[in-house]
Amino acid sequence: MSDEQTYLLQYTYVEDIVDRRGPYREAHLERIRAEQAAGRIVMAGALGNPPVGGAIAFRGVSTEHIEQFAAGDPYTEAGLVAAHRVDLWNLV
């Protein structure tokens, strides 16, 4: 395993995310795919069914990079993210 630190970006979505995310979904997913292709995101996905939030695991980047990613996420810009947090993920 790499000795690079892994951080988890966690989103809490608004209640009606499923009804409102349509116009922003592809742009949201494209940003994630671009970060995956660059080796900065190792996994990502929605939490719950229907989704109540999302989680994105970043490796080898600063918390500032993650905060910038969150701020520029189409879901955030559209008001679909009620809250977010970034935590160091101590993998075992």
Domain 6-47+60-89 has CATH 3.40.50.720: no
pLDDT by 10s per residue, the chain, length 92: 456 899 999 999 999 999 999 999 999 999 999 999 999 999 999 999 999 999 999 999 999 999 999 999 999 999 999 999 999 999 88
pLDDT at residue 3, rounded to an integer: 66
Burial class (CB in 10 A: 0-12, 13-18, 19+), 24: middle
pLDDT at residue 57, rounded to an integer: 98
pLDDT at residue 1, rounded to an integer: 44
Q: CB under 8 Å, gap of 24 or more: what pairs does 35-38 form?
A: 35/69
Query: Three-class SS string for 30-75?
Result: HHHHHHHHCCCEEEEEEECCCCCEEEEEEECCCHHHHHHHHHHCHH
pLDDT at residue 59, rounded to an integer: 97
